[in-house]
Every structure is written in structure tokens, then in C-alpha cells.
Amino acid sequence: MNAITNHLPTAELQALDAAHHMHPFTANGELAEKGSRIITRATGVTLTDSEGNEILDAMAGLWCVNIGYGRDELAEVAARQMRELPYYNTFFQTTHVPAIALASKIAELAPGDLNHVFFAGSGSEANDTNIRMVRHYWALKGKPTKSIIISRKNAYHGSSVGSGSLGGMSAMHEQGGLPIPDIHHINQPHWWAEGGDMPEEDFGLQRAQDLEAAILELGEDRVAAFIAEPIQGAGGVIVPPASYWPEIQRICDKYEILLIADEVICGFGRTGNWFGSETVGIRPDIMTIAKGLSSGYAPIGGSIVTDEVAAVIGSDEFNHGYTYSGHPVASAVALENLRILEEEDVVGHVKNVAGPYLKEKWEALADHPLVGEAKIVGMMGSIALTPNKAARAVFASDAGTVGYICRERCFANNLVMRHVGDRMIISPPLVIKPEEIDVLIERARKSLDECYAILQEKDLLKSA
């Protein structure tokens, strides 16, 4: 351990943080009491905190540091771009080289005729763009009544008023007057939690057909689009049954509903292909991108749209845009990130090396007494904690109580593994090496053992 000394002592930093810094998705009172963990530097898959602890980051920050930490090339590019042109906008018929280069590169990487990019500063902003774009698209096609966007319960599409409305998180809808009008949520394809006695594939089909039922109920002439993550991330890494996506595609085709794939987490290699849409076999009209686009080194997001959508939107002035749409420094950094992903065949590493290796070890966790199912696609995995595997039981304690205990054990064992309710999730940097995967699994198993012992001690191993 090498303590970092070029900053104030941890306790002083924590006091200042508690006094002045409002954290996202955090009970700020609780945090002030406990003191936040302060991350000071990182390299590869390893974070260092203000006390010199070295922590394996199995979440790649917030699902975003695809190429790993500490790549100097990105810092060099950012510095060069800041010197040359730190800012200019892309409004009113102007543009600049980094935005041009990045848009062309994305068009080359994206499947099919997804050839046009509208830039934003984040995934939330990009999804807000999508709401306005799909509604405007149908208005331009002479069908202004088509304004409803169908999404799913427990989806995450961002935190702004628009994207938070698209998302299906009830705890978010309870605050600040969400959702906005004309957003409709259908059930998610979460077999473990909601599948009951149905075989998994039948359930997947049924949940896809909920889309058709919603379209028929709302009226085909009212529905503009369906939005979904190819594999739900923040909802708990929920891998849909194989029957789900082909049926969704059929329904979107049949009723001419625009399909928006939210690739903010799945995009840029995480599922073993460049895009999650390729992994699940769909042909979206629009893709939302962010996170892995720059590996989190700079804030940038966007919407990739097909030739047809771009032609319709381009037939009029689209009164929409952000000061930082296509920001030159963020664009240059993203472009360098894509160069590394491509030249170092990071996507191939996920598909052929790290992915299969992690899958084998991850799925073996299902033999742990606390683990019900272990699901994984590429570099996104989840395990369901349960007091009774055979019954797929949930704990008698409030949802998240056990997950939180497990997460605390992970943290104590220098592993960042998140919990969503009583589901544990990982999403490590794509460049993780087999020997680092061994460390990840060893720490995860140790944390599960410790969690199990705590549950026994506190008599929490009871089913609801």
C-alpha cells in the first residue's frame, strides 16, 4: 500500500465533502455520518483511495471505463485538442474536425444504415433528444398523434425529466412530478423475479407480447416508439430469455413502431460485440450512446439514427441542441478511445478471451448457498441472492437489506461490486485480464461467505 500524500487528510476531505457536496443517488445524511470513500487515482482495473487501499473496480466506474483507467493517449489527445480548439459549437451551420471525425467513425462502427449522429453531453441528454426526435419524426410524416413512447418498468434511461420519465424506476417517478405525458411502461422480461412457474422461454415470449397488447390498447396511431436496453443494466443486469427480442422486433416491424435501443451500457464492446443490438439480434432505428463511447474519460453521448430517420428529421429545422453537442475535446477523446478499442481488438478480447473466462467462473458462483442464479453476457453479470434457491424465494427482510450487507463485505474486501435490491452486479473494464478475473471471483466468493455468516448470525436467512 502506498498512501497518497498530495491532498488533505481523509477526515478533512470527508468533512468538506459532507458540508458542500450534494451526491447523486445517495442518502446524504447517512453519508455525512459514515464519510465517503475518496478515490484518488486509478490504473487498469484498480482504484486507489485516499488511504492507499487498492480496490478492484468490477463496475468500471459506472459501467463506463471500457478501456480501463490510466491511458495516457487520451490525456495527450485532450491536451492537444484544448490547445488547438478548446470549444466551438455545432449550431447554425458550423462544425469542427473532432465532431466530423467522430460522427464518421461511429457511422462506420454502427450496424446497418445507422449512419448519422446527434451529439449530447450524456446518456440522459441523448434520450431527451430521442423523445423529441421520434415525436417530431412522426409529425413530419403527417402523423402527429403518434406521440406515445412505450418503455419498461425497472428500465433506466437517465435522470433528466424526459429520460427519467422514459425510465421505469418508481422511486424516481415519486420525486419531481415524473413521468411527463405520453410515456407508457410495460412489464420487464425478468424471469427469475417474475416468471412464476412458466418455462423461461414462454415467459420471454409473453413479456414481448405485452408490447403488442399495449400497442393495440393505446392505438397504433398513437404509438411512436419502443425504447429498451438490449440487456437491462441499472435494473440489475437482467438478461432476457432468448425468445424475447426476436418477438419485440417482429412487433415493431408489424406496427411500424420506431425501435430505440438504449446502448448506453451495452454499447462499445460490453456484450462481446460493438453493440448490444448485435448480440440480441435487433435492427434499431435509433441507438442511445454514452459511457463507453469515451470510456468515461470525457462526458459525451449521442443518438445514432438510420438514413431514413435522418432524412425525415433533416427535412425541417430540428429546434434542439446542447451547448456541448459534439464538444471538440470530448469528441477527440472519444475518437482516441474508439481507436484503442479497435486497434487493440478489445471487443474481440471480451468475446473470445475475458468473456468466456469470466462466464465460466461467474456461473460457478451459483453453487454458493446464497446464490440463486448467476447470469452473464460479455462483461455484464448478475447474481440473485436468495434464502431458498429451489423456490426462487426473496428474503423476508426489506429488499436491498441483504444486498447492502453483501456490498459492504465486497468493499471491505477491496472489490467494487454493486447491489440492486438483493441482486449483485458487475460490469468490469473490458480489458480485464484472466488473472484479474481470478482476483475478482476470489474476493466475490469471500464476500459471499462473509455475508452468509452475517445472515446466519442475524437470523436473516428467512424467506418472505
Residue 157 engages ligand PXG in binding (rule: CB under 6 A): yes
The CB-of-360 to ligand PXG minimum distance in angstroms stands at: 25
Q: Pick the binder of ligand PXG from 133, 239, 264, 461 (CB under 6 A).
A: 264
Binding span for ligand PXG by CB under 6 A among 216-224, 262-270, 406-414, 456-464 = 262-270
Residue 168: partners with Cβ closer than 8 Å, 6 or more residues away:
151, 152, 153, 154, 155, 185, 188, 235
The CB-of-276 to ligand PXG minimum distance in angstroms stands at: 10
Whether the CB-CB separation of 209 and 165 falls below 8 Å is answered with no
121 or 387, CB closer to ligand PXG? 121
- Alpha-carbon distance of 197 to 219, in angstroms, equals 31
Site string for ligand PXG, 275-314 (x = CB under 6 A): -------------x-x----------x-------------
- Alpha-carbon distance of 368 to 379, in angstroms, equals 21
The CB-of-233 to ligand PXG minimum distance in angstroms stands at: 5
Residue 122 engages ligand PXG in binding (rule: CB under 6 A): yes
The CB-of-425 to ligand PXG minimum distance in angstroms stands at: 8
131 or 455, CB closer to ligand PXG? 131
The CB-of-163 to ligand PXG minimum distance in angstroms stands at: 6
Whether the CB-CB separation of 230 and 280 falls below 8 Å is answered with yes
- Alpha-carbon distance of 366 to 357, in angstroms, equals 16
The CB-of-92 to ligand PXG minimum distance in angstroms stands at: 26
The CB-of-419 to ligand PXG minimum distance in angstroms stands at: 10
3-state secondary structure of 421: coil
The CB-of-120 to ligand PXG minimum distance in angstroms stands at: 9
Q: Which of 448, 437, 452 is nearest to 45 (CA)?
A: 437
Q: Pick the binder of ligand PXG from 81, 90, 124, 154 (CB under 6 A).
A: 124
Q: Pick the binder of ligand PXG from 61, 68, 98, 123 (CB under 6 A).
A: 123
Q: How many residues bind ligand PXG (CB under 6 A)?
A: 17
Whether the CB-CB separation of 53 and 1 falls below 8 Å is answered with yes
Residue closest to ligand PXG when measured from CB atoms: 123
- Alpha-carbon distance of 372 to 366, in angstroms, equals 6
Q: Exposed, middle or buried, 323 (CB in 10 Å: 0-12/13-18/19+)?
A: exposed
Site string for ligand PXG, 65-104 (x = CB under 6 A): ----------------------------------------
Whether the CB-CB separation of 148 and 113 falls below 8 Å is answered with no
The CB-of-124 to ligand PXG minimum distance in angstroms stands at: 3
Name the amino acid, one letter, at 457: E
Q: Pick the binder of ligand PXG from 61, 68, 98, 158 (CB under 6 A).
A: 158
Compute φ and ψ for 48, nearest 5 degrees.
-120, 135
- Alpha-carbon distance of 331 to 328, in angstroms, equals 5
Residue 234 engages ligand PXG in binding (rule: CB under 6 A): yes
From the centroid of its chain, how far is CA 225? 20
The CB-of-56 to ligand PXG minimum distance in angstroms stands at: 18
Cell of 249: 422486433
Q: Pick the binder of ligand PXG from 32, 62, 107, 366 (CB under 6 A).
A: 62
Binding span for ligand PXG by CB under 6 A among 69-77, 204-212, 226-234, 358-366 = 226-234
Q: What is the dihedral of CA 307, 308, 311, 312, to 10 degrees?
A: -150
120 or 394, CB closer to ligand PXG? 120
The CB-of-58 to ligand PXG minimum distance in angstroms stands at: 13
Q: Which of 152, 149, 151, 124 is nearest to 134 (CA)?
A: 149
Other C-beta atoms closer than 10 Å to the C-beta of 241 total 22
Residues 21-40 that bind ligand PXG (CB under 6 A): none
Q: Pick the binder of ligand PXG from 69, 137, 138, 156 (CB under 6 A).
A: 156
Other C-beta atoms closer than 10 Å to the C-beta of 435 total 9
Q: Would you tell me which residues interact with ligand PXG (CB under 6 A)?
A: 62, 122-124, 127, 156-158, 229, 233-234, 262, 264-265, 288, 290, 301
